[in-house]
Structure 1
Amino acid sequence: MSFLQVKTADYVSVINISRPPANALSQGLLQELSNVLEELENNHETRVIVVRGEGRFFCAGADIKEFTTLSQEEDYRQLAKNGQDLLQYVESYPKPIIAAIHGAALGGGLELAMSCHMRFVSETAKLGLPELQLGIIPGFAGTQRLPRYVGVGKACEMMLTSEPISGMEAAKAGLANRAYPEEELFDKTMEFAYKIAKKSPISVAATLQLLKYANAESFYEGMQKEAELFGKVFASNDAKEGVAAFIEKRAPNFKGI
Protein backbone atom coordinates (compact mmCIF):
# COMPACT_ATOMS: atom_id res chain seq x y z
CA MET A 1 0.00 0.00 0.00
CA SER A 2 1.34 3.43 -0.95
CA PHE A 3 1.17 6.27 1.56
CA LEU A 4 2.86 8.88 -0.64
CA GLN A 5 1.91 10.50 -3.93
CA VAL A 6 4.59 12.32 -5.88
CA LYS A 7 4.04 14.85 -8.66
CA THR A 8 6.80 16.73 -10.46
CA ALA A 9 6.48 19.85 -12.62
CA ASP A 10 8.95 22.60 -13.51
CA TYR A 11 11.70 20.93 -11.43
CA VAL A 12 9.62 20.89 -8.22
CA SER A 13 8.46 17.56 -6.79
CA VAL A 14 5.58 17.52 -4.30
CA ILE A 15 5.44 14.59 -1.88
CA ASN A 16 1.92 14.28 -0.53
CA ILE A 17 1.54 12.24 2.68
CA SER A 18 -1.74 10.34 2.50
CA ARG A 19 -2.46 8.07 5.47
CA PRO A 20 -5.86 9.02 6.89
CA PRO A 21 -7.00 10.18 9.29
CA ALA A 22 -3.88 11.86 10.71
CA ASN A 23 -1.03 10.90 8.33
CA ALA A 24 0.71 9.14 11.21
CA LEU A 25 4.28 8.00 10.56
CA SER A 26 4.14 4.22 10.42
CA GLN A 27 7.26 2.19 9.73
CA GLY A 28 5.87 1.46 6.28
CA LEU A 29 5.41 5.16 5.54
CA LEU A 30 8.91 5.99 6.73
CA GLN A 31 10.42 3.28 4.53
CA GLU A 32 8.43 4.53 1.55
CA LEU A 33 9.63 8.07 2.21
CA SER A 34 13.22 6.85 2.25
CA ASN A 35 12.71 5.07 -1.07
CA VAL A 36 11.04 8.08 -2.69
CA LEU A 37 13.79 10.45 -1.57
CA GLU A 38 16.46 8.13 -2.95
CA GLU A 39 14.69 8.10 -6.32
CA LEU A 40 14.27 11.88 -6.41
CA GLU A 41 17.89 12.46 -5.42
CA ASN A 42 18.95 10.90 -8.73
CA ASN A 43 16.16 12.47 -10.78
CA HIS A 44 17.42 15.43 -12.81
CA GLU A 45 13.84 16.66 -13.21
CA THR A 46 13.73 17.30 -9.45
CA ARG A 47 15.56 20.31 -8.04
CA VAL A 48 13.33 21.19 -5.07
CA ILE A 49 11.01 19.01 -2.95
CA VAL A 50 7.88 20.12 -1.10
CA VAL A 51 6.43 17.80 1.56
CA ARG A 52 2.80 18.27 2.54
CA GLY A 53 -0.01 16.33 4.18
CA GLU A 54 -3.36 15.39 2.71
CA GLY A 55 -6.57 16.14 4.57
CA ARG A 56 -6.70 17.97 7.88
CA PHE A 57 -3.10 17.48 9.01
CA PHE A 58 0.47 17.72 7.89
CA CYS A 59 1.32 14.81 10.19
CA ALA A 60 -0.06 14.31 13.68
CA GLY A 61 2.83 12.13 14.86
CA ALA A 62 4.12 8.58 14.95
CA ASP A 63 1.78 5.62 14.77
CA ILE A 64 1.27 4.97 18.50
CA LYS A 65 -0.46 1.65 17.83
CA GLU A 66 2.79 0.30 16.40
CA PHE A 67 4.47 0.96 19.73
CA THR A 68 2.27 -1.69 21.32
CA THR A 69 3.69 -4.37 19.02
CA LEU A 70 7.14 -3.94 20.60
CA SER A 71 8.19 -5.19 24.00
CA GLN A 72 11.97 -5.14 24.40
CA GLU A 73 14.09 -2.10 25.20
CA GLU A 74 16.31 -2.92 22.23
CA ASP A 75 13.29 -2.86 19.90
CA TYR A 76 12.41 0.68 20.95
CA ARG A 77 16.03 1.76 20.69
CA GLN A 78 16.19 0.44 17.13
CA LEU A 79 12.89 2.15 16.28
CA ALA A 80 14.36 5.49 17.37
CA LYS A 81 17.63 4.82 15.53
CA ASN A 82 15.80 4.03 12.28
CA GLY A 83 13.80 7.26 12.51
CA GLN A 84 16.89 9.29 13.38
CA ASP A 85 18.82 7.86 10.43
CA LEU A 86 16.05 8.73 7.98
CA LEU A 87 15.63 12.29 9.27
CA GLN A 88 19.40 12.80 9.21
CA TYR A 89 19.24 11.79 5.55
CA VAL A 90 16.51 14.40 5.03
CA GLU A 91 18.56 17.09 6.78
CA SER A 92 21.68 16.33 4.73
CA TYR A 93 19.76 15.94 1.45
CA PRO A 94 21.53 17.66 -1.49
CA LYS A 95 18.31 19.25 -2.79
CA PRO A 96 16.17 21.71 -0.80
CA ILE A 97 13.25 20.12 1.04
CA ILE A 98 10.44 22.42 2.20
CA ALA A 99 7.72 21.33 4.62
CA ALA A 100 4.32 22.94 3.98
CA ILE A 101 2.54 22.55 7.32
CA HIS A 102 -1.18 22.94 7.90
CA GLY A 103 -3.43 21.55 10.60
CA ALA A 104 -0.92 19.92 12.90
CA ALA A 105 2.69 18.79 12.96
CA LEU A 106 3.05 16.95 16.25
CA GLY A 107 5.57 14.49 17.63
CA GLY A 108 7.18 12.62 14.76
CA GLY A 109 5.43 14.97 12.34
CA LEU A 110 7.25 17.97 13.77
CA GLU A 111 10.48 15.98 13.92
CA LEU A 112 10.10 15.29 10.19
CA ALA A 113 9.38 18.95 9.51
CA MET A 114 12.39 20.09 11.56
CA SER A 115 14.69 17.89 9.50
CA CYS A 116 13.57 19.68 6.32
CA HIS A 117 15.62 22.67 5.20
CA MET A 118 12.69 25.09 5.49
CA ARG A 119 9.21 25.15 7.00
CA PHE A 120 6.25 27.19 5.73
CA VAL A 121 3.17 27.03 7.98
CA SER A 122 -0.43 28.08 8.10
CA GLU A 123 -1.01 30.71 10.75
CA THR A 124 -3.34 28.42 12.69
CA ALA A 125 -1.29 25.23 12.45
CA LYS A 126 -0.27 23.51 15.70
CA LEU A 127 3.37 22.49 16.14
CA GLY A 128 4.61 20.59 19.16
CA LEU A 129 6.30 17.60 20.77
CA PRO A 130 3.64 16.19 23.13
CA GLU A 131 5.36 12.86 23.86
CA LEU A 132 5.66 13.47 27.61
CA GLN A 133 1.86 13.46 27.75
CA LEU A 134 2.13 9.73 26.99
CA GLY A 135 4.94 9.12 29.45
CA ILE A 136 7.53 8.84 26.68
CA ILE A 137 10.00 11.22 25.02
CA PRO A 138 10.72 12.33 21.43
CA GLY A 139 12.84 9.73 19.69
CA PHE A 140 13.56 11.03 16.17
CA ALA A 141 16.06 13.70 17.35
CA GLY A 142 13.33 16.14 18.38
CA THR A 143 15.10 16.92 21.66
CA GLN A 144 18.17 17.93 19.65
CA ARG A 145 16.63 19.87 16.75
CA LEU A 146 13.94 21.88 18.54
CA PRO A 147 16.44 23.87 20.70
CA ARG A 148 18.33 24.84 17.54
CA TYR A 149 15.31 26.76 16.30
CA VAL A 150 13.59 28.11 19.42
CA GLY A 151 16.36 28.03 22.05
CA VAL A 152 16.76 25.72 25.03
CA GLY A 153 14.29 27.54 27.28
CA LYS A 154 11.41 27.53 24.80
CA ALA A 155 12.15 23.94 23.76
CA CYS A 156 12.07 22.91 27.41
CA GLU A 157 8.72 24.65 27.87
CA MET A 158 7.19 23.06 24.78
CA MET A 159 8.33 19.53 25.62
CA LEU A 160 7.70 19.53 29.37
CA THR A 161 4.20 20.99 29.05
CA SER A 162 3.36 19.02 25.86
CA GLU A 163 1.60 22.17 24.63
CA PRO A 164 1.90 23.08 20.92
CA ILE A 165 2.43 26.54 19.52
CA SER A 166 0.58 28.09 16.59
CA GLY A 167 2.04 28.59 13.15
CA MET A 168 2.20 32.31 13.78
CA GLU A 169 4.11 31.72 17.02
CA ALA A 170 6.40 29.24 15.25
CA ALA A 171 7.37 31.85 12.65
CA LYS A 172 8.11 34.41 15.35
CA ALA A 173 10.17 31.88 17.34
CA GLY A 174 12.26 30.82 14.34
CA LEU A 175 10.77 27.34 14.05
CA ALA A 176 9.06 28.28 10.77
CA ASN A 177 10.34 30.47 7.95
CA ARG A 178 7.00 32.03 7.05
CA ALA A 179 3.37 31.83 8.11
CA TYR A 180 0.39 32.32 5.78
CA PRO A 181 -3.40 32.01 5.94
CA GLU A 182 -4.16 28.34 5.35
CA GLU A 183 -5.83 28.95 2.00
CA GLU A 184 -2.65 30.61 0.71
CA LEU A 185 -0.09 28.23 2.21
CA PHE A 186 0.42 25.76 -0.63
CA ASP A 187 0.44 28.35 -3.41
CA LYS A 188 2.93 30.54 -1.52
CA THR A 189 5.13 27.53 -0.79
CA MET A 190 5.12 26.48 -4.44
CA GLU A 191 5.88 30.02 -5.56
CA PHE A 192 8.92 29.98 -3.31
CA ALA A 193 9.96 26.50 -4.49
CA TYR A 194 9.80 27.51 -8.16
CA LYS A 195 11.99 30.50 -7.39
CA ILE A 196 14.69 28.21 -5.96
CA ALA A 197 14.28 25.71 -8.81
CA LYS A 198 15.45 28.36 -11.26
CA LYS A 199 18.83 28.55 -9.52
CA SER A 200 21.80 26.40 -10.49
CA PRO A 201 21.44 22.94 -8.85
CA ILE A 202 25.23 22.94 -8.43
CA SER A 203 25.37 26.14 -6.39
CA VAL A 204 22.23 25.17 -4.42
CA ALA A 205 23.72 21.80 -3.44
CA ALA A 206 27.01 23.45 -2.45
CA THR A 207 25.20 25.98 -0.27
CA LEU A 208 23.22 23.26 1.51
CA GLN A 209 26.43 21.32 2.11
CA LEU A 210 28.14 24.36 3.63
CA LEU A 211 25.29 25.23 5.98
CA LYS A 212 26.08 22.22 8.18
CA TYR A 213 29.39 23.88 9.11
CA ALA A 214 27.65 27.08 10.24
CA ASN A 215 28.39 26.87 13.96
CA ALA A 216 31.17 28.06 16.23
CA GLU A 217 32.78 24.62 16.57
CA SER A 218 33.29 24.09 12.83
CA PHE A 219 33.63 27.68 11.57
CA TYR A 220 37.24 27.34 10.40
CA GLU A 221 36.53 23.97 8.78
CA GLY A 222 33.54 25.57 7.09
CA MET A 223 35.65 28.37 5.65
CA GLN A 224 38.06 25.83 4.15
CA LYS A 225 35.19 23.86 2.68
CA GLU A 226 33.65 27.06 1.31
CA ALA A 227 36.85 27.93 -0.55
CA GLU A 228 37.02 24.39 -1.95
CA LEU A 229 33.42 24.43 -3.20
CA PHE A 230 33.78 28.02 -4.44
CA GLY A 231 36.42 26.76 -6.85
CA LYS A 232 34.38 23.76 -7.97
CA VAL A 233 31.21 25.77 -8.52
CA PHE A 234 33.02 28.46 -10.51
CA ALA A 235 34.45 25.78 -12.81
CA SER A 236 30.94 24.59 -13.76
CA ASN A 237 29.08 25.42 -16.95
CA ASP A 238 26.26 26.84 -14.80
CA ALA A 239 28.64 29.47 -13.43
CA LYS A 240 29.67 30.44 -16.95
CA GLU A 241 26.02 30.65 -17.94
CA GLY A 242 25.15 32.75 -14.90
CA VAL A 243 27.92 35.26 -15.54
CA ALA A 244 27.10 35.46 -19.26
CA ALA A 245 23.39 35.99 -18.51
CA PHE A 246 24.23 38.79 -16.09
CA ILE A 247 26.41 40.56 -18.64
CA GLU A 248 23.84 40.05 -21.41
CA LYS A 249 21.00 41.21 -19.13
CA ARG A 250 18.89 38.07 -19.54
CA ALA A 251 17.58 35.30 -17.31
CA PRO A 252 20.04 32.40 -16.88
CA ASN A 253 19.19 28.90 -18.07
CA PHE A 254 20.93 26.55 -15.66
CA LYS A 255 21.43 22.90 -16.63
CA GLY A 256 23.05 21.53 -13.47
CA ILE A 257 26.40 20.90 -15.15
Structure 2
Amino acid sequence: MIATGSISTVIEKTVATITFSHPASNSFPSLLLQQLVDELHFLSKNNTIAIIILKSEGTTFCAGASFEELLAIATEEEGTQFFSGFANVINAMRTSPKLIIGRIHGKAVGGGVGLAAACDYCFATDSSMIRLSEIGVGIGPFVIEPAVSRRIGKTAFAEMTLNPMAWKSAQWALENKLFTEVFSSIEGLDTRLHSFVSELSSYNPLALEAIKKVLWEGTETWDKLLYERAAISGKLVLSAATKIALQKFKK
Protein backbone atom coordinates (compact mmCIF):
# COMPACT_ATOMS: atom_id res chain seq x y z
CA MET A 1 0.00 0.00 0.00
CA ILE A 2 1.31 3.44 -1.00
CA ALA A 3 1.64 5.84 1.94
CA THR A 4 -0.49 8.96 1.46
CA GLY A 5 1.54 11.59 3.32
CA SER A 6 -0.08 14.79 4.55
CA ILE A 7 -0.91 18.39 3.68
CA SER A 8 -1.46 20.96 6.42
CA THR A 9 -2.08 24.70 6.36
CA VAL A 10 -1.56 27.39 8.98
CA ILE A 11 -2.98 30.86 8.42
CA GLU A 12 -1.53 33.88 10.23
CA LYS A 13 -3.19 37.16 9.31
CA THR A 14 -2.77 37.43 5.51
CA VAL A 15 -0.20 34.64 5.11
CA ALA A 16 -1.05 30.95 4.58
CA THR A 17 1.70 28.36 5.01
CA ILE A 18 1.18 25.03 3.28
CA THR A 19 3.36 22.19 4.59
CA PHE A 20 3.55 18.85 2.80
CA SER A 21 5.10 15.67 4.11
CA HIS A 22 5.66 12.09 2.97
CA PRO A 23 7.86 9.36 4.52
CA ALA A 24 9.55 8.68 1.16
CA SER A 25 11.66 11.88 1.08
CA ASN A 26 8.57 14.04 0.63
CA SER A 27 7.68 12.42 -2.69
CA PHE A 28 4.16 12.85 -4.03
CA PRO A 29 1.70 10.04 -4.74
CA SER A 30 -1.28 11.13 -6.85
CA LEU A 31 -3.59 11.51 -3.87
CA LEU A 32 -1.25 13.92 -2.11
CA LEU A 33 -0.79 15.96 -5.30
CA GLN A 34 -4.57 16.29 -5.59
CA GLN A 35 -4.82 17.36 -1.96
CA LEU A 36 -2.25 20.07 -2.66
CA VAL A 37 -4.22 21.22 -5.70
CA ASP A 38 -7.42 21.35 -3.65
CA GLU A 39 -5.70 23.36 -0.91
CA LEU A 40 -4.25 25.83 -3.42
CA HIS A 41 -7.69 26.34 -4.99
CA PHE A 42 -9.27 26.78 -1.58
CA LEU A 43 -6.74 29.37 -0.44
CA SER A 44 -6.90 31.17 -3.78
CA LYS A 45 -10.56 31.97 -3.08
CA ASN A 46 -9.82 33.35 0.41
CA ASN A 47 -9.90 37.13 0.07
CA THR A 48 -8.13 37.65 3.40
CA ILE A 49 -4.95 35.90 2.19
CA ALA A 50 -2.28 37.71 0.17
CA ILE A 51 0.69 35.32 0.36
CA ILE A 52 1.13 31.54 0.31
CA ILE A 53 4.33 29.92 1.61
CA LEU A 54 5.05 26.42 0.30
CA LYS A 55 7.32 24.25 2.45
CA SER A 56 7.92 20.67 3.54
CA GLU A 57 9.06 18.75 6.60
CA GLY A 58 12.19 16.66 7.12
CA THR A 59 15.59 17.17 5.51
CA THR A 60 14.60 16.83 1.83
CA PHE A 61 12.38 19.40 0.15
CA CYS A 62 10.80 17.06 -2.40
CA ALA A 63 11.82 13.87 -4.21
CA GLY A 64 9.24 14.33 -6.97
CA ALA A 65 6.52 11.89 -7.95
CA SER A 66 6.03 8.62 -6.09
CA PHE A 67 8.38 6.00 -7.53
CA GLU A 68 6.27 3.22 -6.03
CA GLU A 69 3.20 4.49 -7.85
CA LEU A 70 5.19 4.97 -11.05
CA LEU A 71 6.16 1.28 -11.03
CA ALA A 72 2.49 0.28 -10.75
CA ILE A 73 1.39 2.00 -13.99
CA ALA A 74 -0.11 -0.60 -16.33
CA THR A 75 -1.88 1.39 -19.07
CA GLU A 76 -1.27 4.53 -21.10
CA GLU A 77 -4.35 6.11 -19.52
CA GLU A 78 -2.99 5.43 -16.02
CA GLY A 79 0.34 6.87 -17.09
CA THR A 80 -1.18 10.09 -18.42
CA GLN A 81 -3.25 10.46 -15.27
CA PHE A 82 -0.20 9.90 -13.07
CA PHE A 83 1.95 12.48 -14.86
CA SER A 84 -0.94 14.95 -14.89
CA GLY A 85 -0.55 15.21 -11.11
CA PHE A 86 2.25 17.76 -11.25
CA ALA A 87 0.54 19.46 -14.21
CA ASN A 88 -2.46 20.07 -11.95
CA VAL A 89 -0.25 21.51 -9.20
CA ILE A 90 1.77 23.78 -11.49
CA ASN A 91 -1.39 25.11 -13.11
CA ALA A 92 -2.97 25.69 -9.69
CA MET A 93 0.13 27.65 -8.60
CA ARG A 94 0.28 29.54 -11.89
CA THR A 95 -3.37 30.62 -11.88
CA SER A 96 -3.62 31.38 -8.17
CA PRO A 97 -4.05 35.12 -7.57
CA LYS A 98 -1.82 34.76 -4.50
CA LEU A 99 1.94 35.18 -4.64
CA ILE A 100 3.58 31.87 -3.72
CA ILE A 101 6.89 31.87 -1.85
CA GLY A 102 8.96 28.67 -1.83
CA ARG A 103 10.95 27.56 1.21
CA ILE A 104 13.35 25.10 -0.41
CA HIS A 105 15.30 23.95 2.65
CA GLY A 106 16.81 20.77 1.18
CA LYS A 107 17.33 18.71 -1.97
CA ALA A 108 14.77 18.76 -4.78
CA VAL A 109 14.50 16.12 -7.50
CA GLY A 110 12.29 15.97 -10.59
CA GLY A 111 8.85 17.27 -9.71
CA GLY A 112 10.36 18.96 -6.65
CA VAL A 113 12.36 21.17 -9.02
CA GLY A 114 9.10 21.85 -10.84
CA LEU A 115 7.47 22.99 -7.61
CA ALA A 116 10.33 25.39 -6.92
CA ALA A 117 10.10 26.73 -10.47
CA ALA A 118 6.36 27.34 -10.11
CA CYS A 119 6.87 29.52 -7.04
CA ASP A 120 7.01 33.27 -7.55
CA TYR A 121 10.02 33.71 -5.24
CA CYS A 122 12.31 31.03 -3.77
CA PHE A 123 14.39 30.96 -0.61
CA ALA A 124 16.88 28.11 -0.28
CA THR A 125 19.91 26.93 1.69
CA ASP A 126 23.38 25.83 0.61
CA SER A 127 22.20 22.22 0.95
CA SER A 128 19.33 22.71 -1.50
CA MET A 129 20.86 20.82 -4.41
CA ILE A 130 18.69 20.01 -7.42
CA ARG A 131 18.52 17.24 -10.02
CA LEU A 132 16.33 16.22 -12.97
CA SER A 133 16.61 12.44 -12.98
CA GLU A 134 13.72 11.54 -15.29
CA ILE A 135 15.59 10.74 -18.50
CA GLY A 136 17.75 8.34 -16.51
CA VAL A 137 14.72 6.10 -15.97
CA GLY A 138 13.55 6.26 -19.57
CA ILE A 139 11.03 9.10 -19.43
CA GLY A 140 11.77 12.83 -19.19
CA PRO A 141 10.77 15.99 -17.28
CA PHE A 142 8.20 16.90 -19.92
CA VAL A 143 5.44 18.19 -17.62
CA ILE A 144 7.64 20.43 -15.50
CA GLU A 145 9.80 21.66 -18.41
CA PRO A 146 7.75 24.78 -19.19
CA ALA A 147 7.95 25.92 -15.56
CA VAL A 148 11.65 25.10 -15.19
CA SER A 149 12.68 26.57 -18.56
CA ARG A 150 10.70 29.72 -17.79
CA ARG A 151 12.99 30.25 -14.82
CA ILE A 152 16.40 28.97 -15.93
CA GLY A 153 16.17 28.93 -19.75
CA LYS A 154 16.40 26.07 -22.24
CA THR A 155 20.20 25.86 -22.15
CA ALA A 156 20.40 25.36 -18.38
CA PHE A 157 17.40 23.01 -18.57
CA ALA A 158 19.25 20.89 -21.13
CA GLU A 159 22.34 20.89 -18.91
CA MET A 160 20.28 19.41 -16.08
CA THR A 161 18.14 17.04 -18.14
CA LEU A 162 20.97 15.45 -20.11
CA ASN A 163 22.97 14.81 -16.93
CA PRO A 164 20.27 13.04 -14.90
CA MET A 165 22.64 11.66 -12.25
CA ALA A 166 24.44 14.98 -11.64
CA TRP A 167 23.44 17.24 -8.77
CA LYS A 168 23.45 20.99 -9.31
CA SER A 169 24.42 23.13 -6.34
CA ALA A 170 22.22 25.72 -4.70
CA GLN A 171 24.66 28.34 -5.98
CA TRP A 172 24.13 27.06 -9.54
CA ALA A 173 20.37 27.30 -9.00
CA LEU A 174 20.81 30.85 -7.70
CA GLU A 175 22.97 31.91 -10.64
CA ASN A 176 20.44 30.40 -13.05
CA LYS A 177 17.50 32.16 -11.37
CA LEU A 178 15.66 29.12 -10.00
CA PHE A 179 16.41 30.30 -6.46
CA THR A 180 16.07 33.96 -5.58
CA GLU A 181 18.04 33.98 -2.31
CA VAL A 182 20.28 31.33 -0.73
CA PHE A 183 21.41 31.09 2.90
CA SER A 184 24.05 29.14 4.78
CA SER A 185 21.54 27.83 7.34
CA ILE A 186 17.84 27.08 7.71
CA GLU A 187 17.76 29.56 10.59
CA GLY A 188 19.06 32.29 8.30
CA LEU A 189 16.56 31.31 5.64
CA ASP A 190 13.63 31.44 8.05
CA THR A 191 14.67 34.78 9.51
CA ARG A 192 14.83 36.36 6.07
CA LEU A 193 11.66 34.59 4.91
CA HIS A 194 9.71 35.95 7.88
CA SER A 195 11.00 39.47 7.29
CA PHE A 196 10.33 39.33 3.54
CA VAL A 197 6.79 37.97 3.88
CA SER A 198 5.92 40.43 6.66
CA GLU A 199 6.88 43.33 4.43
CA LEU A 200 5.36 41.93 1.24
CA SER A 201 2.03 41.14 2.90
CA SER A 202 1.74 44.76 4.08
CA TYR A 203 1.44 46.02 0.51
CA ASN A 204 -1.81 46.66 -1.35
CA PRO A 205 -3.32 43.19 -1.98
CA LEU A 206 -4.83 44.38 -5.25
CA ALA A 207 -1.37 45.41 -6.45
CA LEU A 208 0.05 42.02 -5.42
CA GLU A 209 -2.71 40.22 -7.32
CA ALA A 210 -2.12 42.37 -10.39
CA ILE A 211 1.62 41.77 -10.37
CA LYS A 212 1.01 38.00 -10.08
CA LYS A 213 -0.88 38.15 -13.39
CA VAL A 214 1.95 40.09 -14.99
CA LEU A 215 4.56 37.60 -13.78
CA TRP A 216 2.76 34.73 -15.51
CA GLU A 217 1.86 36.45 -18.78
CA GLY A 218 2.43 34.20 -21.78
CA THR A 219 1.63 30.94 -19.97
CA GLU A 220 -2.04 30.79 -20.89
CA THR A 221 -1.47 27.78 -23.16
CA TRP A 222 -0.29 25.68 -20.20
CA ASP A 223 -3.87 24.58 -19.49
CA LYS A 224 -3.47 22.40 -22.58
CA LEU A 225 0.31 22.09 -22.93
CA LEU A 226 1.08 20.44 -19.60
CA TYR A 227 -1.46 17.69 -20.18
CA GLU A 228 -0.10 17.05 -23.66
CA ARG A 229 3.29 16.64 -22.00
CA ALA A 230 1.78 14.26 -19.43
CA ALA A 231 0.53 12.09 -22.29
CA ILE A 232 4.09 11.85 -23.68
CA SER A 233 5.39 10.55 -20.36
CA GLY A 234 2.35 8.33 -19.94
CA LYS A 235 3.20 6.58 -23.20
CA LEU A 236 6.95 6.38 -22.57
CA VAL A 237 6.55 4.78 -19.14
CA LEU A 238 5.13 1.67 -20.81
CA SER A 239 8.02 1.24 -23.25
CA ALA A 240 10.36 -1.73 -22.86
CA ALA A 241 13.41 0.51 -22.41
CA THR A 242 11.72 2.42 -19.58
CA LYS A 243 10.59 -0.72 -17.80
CA ILE A 244 14.18 -2.04 -17.87
CA ALA A 245 15.53 1.28 -16.60
CA LEU A 246 12.95 1.42 -13.81
CA GLN A 247 13.79 -2.07 -12.61
CA LYS A 248 17.52 -1.24 -12.57
CA PHE A 249 16.76 1.94 -10.63
CA LYS A 250 14.60 -0.01 -8.18
CA LYS A 251 17.40 -2.49 -7.49
How far has the Cα of 1:149 moved from its partner? 2.1
How far has the Cα of 1:12 moved from its partner? 1.1
Q: Which residue of 2 aligns with 1:161?
A: 163
How far has the Cα of 1:77 moved from its partner? 1.9
Q: Which residue of 1 aligns with 2:248?
A: none
Q: Which residue of 2 aligns with 1:244?
A: none
Contact 2:107 2:130 in 1 (8 A): yes
How many angstroms apart in 1 are the aligned matches of 2:215 and 2:86? 22
One-letter code aligned to 2:211:
T
Q: Is residue 192 of structure 2 the alignment partner of residue 188 of structure 1? A: yes
Given the alignment, which residue of 113, 117, 125 partners 2:116?
113
Q: Which runs of 5+ in 2 are unaligned?
A: 220-251
One-letter code aligned to 1:159:
T
Contact 2:70 2:82 in 1 (8 A): no
Alignment of 1:17-166 (within 5 A): 17-139=20-142, 141-162=143-164, 163-166=166-169
How many angstroms apart in 2 are the aligned matches of 1:175 and 1:147? 9
The structure with higher relative contact order (CA 8 Å, sep 6+) is 2
How many angstroms apart in 1 are the aligned matches of 2:43 and 2:153? 33
How far has the Cα of 1:51 moved from its partner? 0.7
One-letter code aligned to 2:92:
Y
Given the alignment, which residue of 3, 7, 25 partners 2:6?
3
Q: Deviations over 1:112-162 (max 9, x none)?
A: 1211112111122111211122222114x3222222222222211111101
Contact 1:120 1:185 in 2 (8 A): yes
How far has the Cα of 1:62 moved from its partner? 0.9
**Coordinate RMSD, CA, aligned:** 1.8
How many angstroms apart in 2 are the aligned matches of 1:81 and 1:19? 19
How far has the Cα of 1:2 moved from its partner? 6.0
How many angstroms apart in 2 are the aligned matches of 1:92 and 1:35? 13
Alignment of 1:201-220 (within 5 A): 201-213=205-217
How many angstroms apart in 1 are the aligned matches of 2:75 and 2:185? 42
How far has the Cα of 1:49 moved from its partner? 0.7
Percent identity over paired residues: 27
TM norm structure 1: 0.77
Contact 2:44 2:98 in 1 (8 A): yes
Q: Deviations over 1:183-204 (max 9, x none)?
A: 2112212221121111111111
How many angstroms apart in 1 are the aligned matches of 2:48 and 2:216? 25
How many angstroms apart in 2 are the aligned matches of 1:175 and 1:96? 16
| Count of matched residue positions in the alignment of Structure 1 and Structure 2 | 214
How far has the Cα of 1:214 moved from its partner? 6.5
How far has the Cα of 1:71 moved from its partner? 1.1
TM norm structure 2: 0.79
One-letter code aligned to 1:186:
D
Q: Which residue of 2 aligns with 1:251?
A: none
How far has the Cα of 1:82 moved from its partner? 3.8
Secondary structure of 1:5's aligned partner:
strand
